[in-house]
Amino acid sequence: MKSVARIPNKELAIFFIVTVAIFCSLSPSFRTGENFENILVGFSHMGVLAVGQAFPILLGGIDLSVGSIVALAGMVGFDGFLIFGLPGAIVIPVMLATSVVAGIFNGVLITGARLQPFVATLATMAVYRGVTYAISGRQLFPELATRSIDDDLLLGLDNYVGHFPYAFFLLLIVAGLSQLLLAATRFGRDVYAVGGNREAARLAGIPIGRTTAICYAISGFCAGLAALILVSRMTTSQENLGIGIELSAIAAAIVGGASLQGGTGNAIGPVIGAFLLGVILIGLNLVGITTYAQPVLTGLILLGAVYYDRVLLGRRRLRLGKSQ
């Protein structure tokens, strides 16, 4: 197992820089300050989601429900602000608490009901989306569909420091704290141990159930933060908020070095992976590639990342066999 203190993303960072340089040379519009600001605004929430997604992946699992959790937290905020007229100091913690509970429920299904992470989170993806429609203030009170949220605390999340949005700084804080959690705490060591060899971790006395629940709670919490960013930007929320976003979050995490086999990765790579996806998608758009090709490209990037992950796994097994 690689040391978690070292950041194994040097090659990815170089590839990111080269990609930016290529699009800068191909499109004058790409190399403008306004475009780089748009990338920061448009993909900071994706970076937050990717960091959260990295925790289940480090366990050898996955969380397909993050898009639905984003929608659920967003609708809780919509109802709290526009139906009940509550202040942001109350609504924002409730939104985050809702997303954390949803994440913990995923972990309980996986450890308590012994469901596969793919099956459990696929099911909750549908459940949480259904709950979002059930509690939707837009459905219960159609006149609210045209009203905007005007809470100062929430809308303040969409402010800037110079050309840098608050969401970008929030991403840096989340990534920094997550990396510290993984690299310098017992919990982080437990995560890598469970992801590296679940049975050995169990025999070593590591609380697998608690570790799993916390990882999925972190994933849910990051989905709640992403919901805050999106709702503050749009000043509303919709039932279809976050549809399909889980694919991009998973792609960013895997491109960032989080192995689907578990036990390998960190919290920094997913941030680079998220912005790499943003650079590629926006860059292709600016050079004239149709937007219909963008989901296809995201899928191809994910396939390439998974294939590369399998190649690295084969190399690690080969080196282990030679050493033995």
Residue in 107, 113, 33, 88 with CA at minimum distance from that of residue 235? 88
* pLDDT at residue 291 in the model: 66
Mean pLDDT in residue range 60-64: 96
Note every long-range contact of 198-201, with CB atoms under 8 Å and residues 24 or more positions apart, other chains counting. 198/60, 198/262
Report the SS3 class of residue 134.
helix
Q: For residue 299, what pLDDT band results from cuts at 50, 70 and 90?
A: confident
pLDDT band at 297 (very low <50, low <70, confident <90, very high): confident
| Secondary structure letter of residue 292 according to DSSP | T
144-180 confidence digits (pLDDT tens):
989 999 999 999 999 999 889 999 999 999 999 999 9
Distance CA 240, CA 140 (A): 16
Q: Where do the domains of the chain lie, and which CATH numbers do they carry?
A: 10-317 (1.10.3470)
DSSP string covering 194-209: HHH-HHHHHHTT--HH
In 3-state terms, what secondary structure has residue 160? strand
pLDDT exceeds cutoff 60 at 6 = no
pLDDT per position as a tens digit, 93-107: 999 999 999 999 999
pLDDT band at 1 (very low <50, low <70, confident <90, very high): very low
pLDDT in tens, 233-262: 999 999 999 999 999 999 899 989 898 889
Q: How far apart are CA 173 and CA 83, in angstroms?
A: 32
- pLDDT of residue 212 exceeding 60, the answer is yes
Would the pLDDT of 112 be above 60? yes
Measured from the Cβ of residue 53, the count of other Cβ atoms closer than 10 Å reads 30
Q: Is the pLDDT of residue 3 over 50?
A: no
Mean per-residue pLDDT, 201-225: 96
Share of the chain above pLDDT 90, in %: 72
